[in-house]
């Protein structure tokens, strides 16, 4: 990497513009005297990170895009957008898209609403802190461990059916993970069980940053509890809300562990989301072209979703 | 107590209890001795078979090597990512580097992409080299994946530091290397710890690379072993699987309770 850095540095003898341009830079740390050495040094500091990222992340990314334009027959011919049209023709992939949409709605709405509610309902009392701990605790578990716990809840002789039977609601018992769309919905609930903790923590941080004077002023003007929440608290939580929504959105789109350990995308391929479909197509169905196309589509969706909160982050940090 | 307050506390109590049910069942049923598990979930603890269940899970899923592996993977890649990202952040913010925005995007872009995009090319190139099914191979992948976000955090933190300290040291003739280790690292310690905690948890909890890049039971990380154990659910019985899940979650739970401050700050750094 250091060589490419020095390449771009025009030799001072040839380019008269180099010197004035250099003085405009915001890092004058002794750079003018030992310009080249300094740059080499900086290149050396960046090289390990840049090399690893380029080699393990960016190059595979480019390769996946490239691969998505080639078919899956024995000779892997160039096939234009055939792999992308599979989304319309292959029922498993259409189902996967439907599930992904369900996941997006569920993983954004549930942690957001529940997290906000729990953060607002609690105060500094001991009871509140204990209640909060119950909600935050599952966040310390991995997706795979959450899947193990919820499998125990949802299997045919699991806890949920047991409770229903004991409550005299035996007619409601069912194989929760066996029929669509119920299986996708209960997995979204399982995901919310884990993910709400983060939302609670973030909303608490947001609530603490609200100046109490604004609430006092509202109370003086006669705002009731709900009005205070709606017109004073909520607007000031906007920055945190964007982070919570963006985070849950991206995490929901990327979630793999929970679905994989609970159902492996089955029964059939009914509970796959794009993240799982990509794995199934590539490594189980052995259709790497289709898998690559799914990965690219997923990337586009994730990038679009990231834009939501990235825009704000980068504005503030000013790259 | 006003009506509003009662309502509020009731809602809260109901929500908290709902949340507690799966956690409670996890602990209670992991305690039930596997042999006396009756086929339906227990709601109250009886007898204490936790350690027996854990040791069964340990044997059935080869958890010993898996735990050791994951500890190595998580510690080494989290440290490596923090240090290497720290280098890069230091260079792009403090040192005279041209086109800082370009370098920022080259490194940062990696964290925006879903991991599925990297999976097959890495799998293929690992299969062609001798990196497939090796510990060093997994460490390399985990480090590379951790770097972009670690870099983002370290860079944002570095931007908030006063430049005068580094400038003074440079004028006194300290080399960049020395400035980095003796001045910059102590200043960015808290960000580095937050990055470490965050990445440790991410690597420890990873499943996808663990089941893709590895086949042997001696190399695979702990979540791959847990998924394997879950696959034998009907053979080994729920108490053993749950005890296994509890066992592999202990490190992150411990970290969560002991370093809650850093957990929270590692969340806040998303901003």
* 3-state per-residue secondary structure call for A239-282: HHHHHHHHHHHHHHHHCCHHHHHHHCCCCCCCCCCHHHHHHHHH
pLDDT of residue A319: 39
Closest CA to B82 of B194, B195, B201, B177: B195
DSSP type of residue A70? B
**Gap from B94 CA to chain A (nearest CA, Å):** 7
* B interface test, pick of A53, A227, A266, A319 with most B CB neighbours within 10 Å: A53
Q: Which residue of A has its CA nearest to B241?
A: A148
Q: Please tell me which of the candidates B19, B204, B207 has its beta carbon nearest to residue A256.
A: B207
Asked whether the beta carbons of residue A302 and residue B242 sit closer than 8 angstroms, the reply is: no
pLDDT of residue A317: 45
3-state secondary structure string, chain B? CCHHHHHHHHHHHHHHHHHHHHHHHHHHHHHCCHHHCCCCCCCCCCCCCHHHHHHHHHHHCCHHHHHHHHHHHHHHHHHHHHHHHHHHHHHHHCCCCCCHHHHHHHHHHHHCCCCHHHHHHHHHHHHHCCCCCCHHHHHHHHHHHHHHHHHHHHHHHHHCCCCHHHHHHHHCCCCHHHHHHHHHHHHCHHHHHHHHHHHHHHHHHCCHHHHHCCCCCCCCCHHHHHHHHHHCHHHHCHHHHHHHHHHHHHHHHHHHHHCHHHHHHHHHCCC
DSSP type of residue A211? -
What is this structure's pTM? 0.84
Phi, psi of B129 (to 5 degrees): -90, -170
- CB distance from B145 to chain A under 8 Å? yes
Q: How confident is the model at residue B269 (pLDDT cuts 50, 70, 90)?
A: low
**Gap from A307 CA to chain B (nearest CA, Å):** 10
Closest CA to A118 of A105, A132, A97: A132
Report CA B254 to chain centroid distance, whole Å. 13
**Gap from A63 CA to chain B (nearest CA, Å):** 7
**Gap from A118 CA to chain B (nearest CA, Å):** 7
Closest CA to A148 of A263, A250, A253: A263
Q: Specify whether the CB–CB gap between A143 and B201 falls below 8 A.
A: no
Phi, psi of A78 (to 5 degrees): -65, 130
**Gap from B93 CA to chain A (nearest CA, Å):** 9
Q: Which long-range contacts (CB under 8 A, 24 or more apart) does B17-24 make?
A: B17/A134, B19/A134, B19/A135, B19/A137, B19/A138, B19/A193, B19/A196, B20/A134, B21/A159, B22/A138, B22/A149, B22/A150, B22/A153, B22/A193, B23/A134, B23/A137, B23/A138, B23/A149
**Gap from A4 CA to chain B (nearest CA, Å):** 11
pLDDT(A31) > 80: no
Residues forming a β-bridge with B90: none
Asked whether the beta carbons of residue B9 and residue A127 sit closer than 8 angstroms, the reply is: yes
Q: How confident is the model at residue A19 (pLDDT cuts 50, 70, 90)?
A: very low
Q: Specify whether the CB–CB gap between B96 and A31 falls below 8 A.
A: yes
Q: Identify the residue whose tokens are 């690292």.
A: B185
Phi, psi of A61 (to 5 degrees): -60, -50
Please tell me the least confidently modeled range out of A188-192, A199-203, A238-242, B11-15: A238-242
pLDDT tens, position by position, B217-267: 889 999 999 998 888 887 788 888 889 999 999 998 888 888 776 666 655
pLDDT of residue B268: 56
Asked whether the beta carbons of residue A8 and residue B241 sit closer than 8 angstroms, the reply is: no
d(CA B65, CA A223): 61
Domain ranges of chain A: 2-53, 88-317
DSSP type of residue A123? -
Q: Mean per-residue pLDDT for B187-192?
A: 86
Q: Specify whether the CB–CB gap between A194 and A146 falls below 8 A.
A: yes
Q: Please tell me which of the candidates B148, B159, B226 has its beta carbon nearest to residue A145.
A: B226
Q: Please tell me which of the candidates B15, B109, B140 has its beta carbon nearest to residue A135.
A: B15
Query: Under CATH, what is the fold of the domain A88-317?
Result: MetI-like fold (1.10.3720)
Asked whether the beta carbons of residue A45 and residue B87 sit closer than 8 angstroms, the reply is: yes
Token output for A110: 């549930």
Asked whether the beta carbons of residue A42 and residue B97 sit closer than 8 angstroms, the reply is: yes
Q: Residues B212, B217, B220, CA angle at the centre, nearest 5°?
A: 45
Q: Which residue of B has its CA nearest to A306?
A: B112
Asked whether the beta carbons of residue A42 and residue B91 sit closer than 8 angstroms, the reply is: yes
Report CA A276 to chain centroid distance, whole Å. 15
Burial A150-161 (b: 16+ CB within 10 A, else e): bbbbbbeebbbb
Asked whether the beta carbons of residue A131 and residue B85 sit closer than 8 angstroms, the reply is: no
- Strand ranges (DSSP E) for chain A? none
pLDDT tens, position by position, B116-154: 999 999 999 999 998 898 889 999 999 999 999 999 888
| Better-scored residue on pLDDT, A87 or A314 | A87
pLDDT tens, position by position, A254-284: 889 999 999 988 788 889 999 999 999 889 9
Q: How confident is the model at residue A5 (pLDDT cuts 50, 70, 90)?
A: very low
Q: Which residue of B has its CA nearest to A260?
A: B227
Token output for A162: 């047991």
Is omega for the bond preceding A293 within 30 degrees of 0, making it cis?
A: no
Q: Which residues of B touch A205 (CB under 8 A)?
A: 264, 267-268
* B interface test, pick of A28, A124, A145, A255 with most B CB neighbours within 10 Å: A145
Q: Which residues of A touch B241 (CB under 8 A)?
A: 148, 152
Q: Please tell me which of the candidates A141, A150, A275 has its beta carbon nearest to residue B114.
A: A275
**Gap from B170 CA to chain A (nearest CA, Å):** 8
DSSP type of residue A75? T
Q: Which residue of A has its CA nearest to B96?
A: A27
Cα-Cα-Cα-Cα dihedral sign, residues A197, A198, A199, A201 = positive
d(CA A47, CA B171): 25
* A interface test, pick of B13, B15, B116, B210 with most A CB neighbours within 10 Å: B116
Please tell me the least confidently modeled range out of A64-73, A256-265, A309-318: A309-318
pLDDT(B201) > 50: yes
Q: Which residues contact A193 (CB under 8 A, 6 or more apart)?
A: A138, A146, A150, B19, B22
Q: Mean per-residue pLDDT for A37-46?
A: 84
Q: Mean per-residue pLDDT for B44-67?
A: 84
ipTM above 0.85, yes or no: yes
Cα-Cα-Cα-Cα dihedral sign, residues A175, A181, A182, A184 = positive
Token output for B177: 């290397």
Asked whether the beta carbons of residue A58 and residue B140 sit closer than 8 angstroms, the reply is: no
Q: Which residues contact B47 (CB under 8 A, 6 or more apart)?
A: B31, B32, B33, B36
Q: Please tell me which of the candidates B95, B120, B147 has its beta carbon nearest to residue A45.
A: B95
Asked whether the beta carbons of residue A193 and residue B22 sit closer than 8 angstroms, the reply is: yes
Q: How confident is the model at residue A24 (pLDDT cuts 50, 70, 90)?
A: very low
Percent of chain A exceeding pLDDT 90 equals: 25
């Amino acid at each position: 990497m250091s060589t490419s850095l020095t390449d771009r540095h025009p030799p001072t003898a040839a380019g008269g513009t180099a010197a004035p341009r250099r003085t405009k830079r915001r890092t004058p740390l002794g750079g003018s005297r030992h310009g080249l050495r300094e740059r080499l040094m900086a290149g050396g500091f960046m090289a390990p990170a840049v090399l690893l990222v380029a080699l393990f992340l960016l190059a595979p990314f480019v390769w996946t895009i490239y691969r998505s334009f080639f078919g899956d027959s024995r000779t892997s011919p160039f096939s234009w957008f055939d792999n992308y049209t599979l989304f319309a023709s292959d029922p498993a992939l259409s189902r996967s898209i439907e599930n992904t949409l369900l996941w997006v709605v569920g993983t954004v709405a549930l942690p957001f609403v529940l997290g906000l509610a729990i953060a607002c309902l609690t105060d500094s009392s001991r009871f509140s802190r204990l209640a909060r701990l119950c909600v935050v605790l599952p966040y310390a578990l991995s997706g795979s461990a959450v899947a193990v716990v919820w499998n125990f809840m949802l299997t045919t002789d699991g806890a949920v059916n047991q409770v229903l039977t004991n409550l005299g609601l035996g007619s409601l018992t069912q194989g929760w993970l066996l029929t669509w769309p119920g299986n996708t919905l209960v997995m979204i609930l399982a995901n919310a069980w884990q993910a709400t903790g983060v939302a609670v923590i973030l909303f608490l941080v947001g609530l603490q940053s609200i100046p109490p004077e604004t609430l006092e002023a509202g109370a003086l003007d006669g705002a009731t509890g709900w009005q205070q929440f709606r017109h004073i608290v909520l607007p000031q939580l906007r920055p945190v809300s964007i982070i919570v929504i963006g985070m849950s959105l991206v995490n929901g789109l990327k979630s793999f562990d929970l679905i994989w350990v609970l159902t492996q995308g089955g029964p059939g391929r009914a509970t796959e989301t794009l993240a799982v479909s990509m794995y199934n197509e590539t490594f189980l169905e052995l259709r790497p072209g289709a898998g690559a196309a799914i990965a690219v589509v997923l990337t586009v969706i994730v990038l679009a979703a990231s834009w939501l909160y990235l825009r704000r982050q980068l504005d503030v940090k000013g790259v | 107590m006003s009506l509003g307050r009662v309502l509020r506390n009731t809602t809260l109590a109901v929500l908290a209890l709902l949340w507690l049910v799966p956690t409670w069942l996890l602990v209670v049923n992991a305690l039930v001795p596997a042999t006396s598990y009756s086929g339906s979930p227990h709601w109250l603890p009886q007898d204490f078979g936790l350690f027996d269940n854990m040791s069964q899970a340990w044997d059935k899923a080869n958890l010993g090597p898996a735990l050791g592996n994951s500890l190595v993977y998580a510690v080494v890649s989290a440290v490596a990512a923090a240090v290497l990202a720290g280098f890069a952040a230091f260079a792009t913010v403090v040192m005279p580097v041209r086109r800082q925005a370009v370098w920022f995007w080259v490194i940062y872009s990696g964290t925006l992409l879903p991991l599925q995009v990297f999976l097959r090319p890495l799998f293929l190139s690992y299969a062609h080299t001798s990196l497939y099914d090796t510990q060093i191979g997994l460490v390399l992948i985990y480090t590379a994946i951790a770097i972009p976000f670690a870099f983002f955090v370290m860079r944002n933190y570095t931007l908030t530091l006063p430049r005068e300290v580094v400038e003074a040291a440079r004028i006194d003739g300290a080399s960049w290397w020395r400035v980095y280790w003796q001045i910059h690292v102590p200043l960015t310690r808290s960000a580095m710890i937050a990055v470490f905690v965050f990445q440790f948890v991410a690597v420890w909890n990873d499943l996808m690379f663990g089941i893709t890049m590895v086949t042997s039971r001696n190399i695979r990380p702990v979540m791959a072993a847990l998924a394997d154990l879950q696959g034998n659910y009907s053979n080994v019985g729920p108490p053993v699987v749950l005890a296994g899940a509890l066992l592999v979650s202990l490190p992150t739970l411990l970290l969560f309770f002991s370093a809650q401050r850093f957990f929270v700050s590692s969340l806040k750094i998303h901003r």
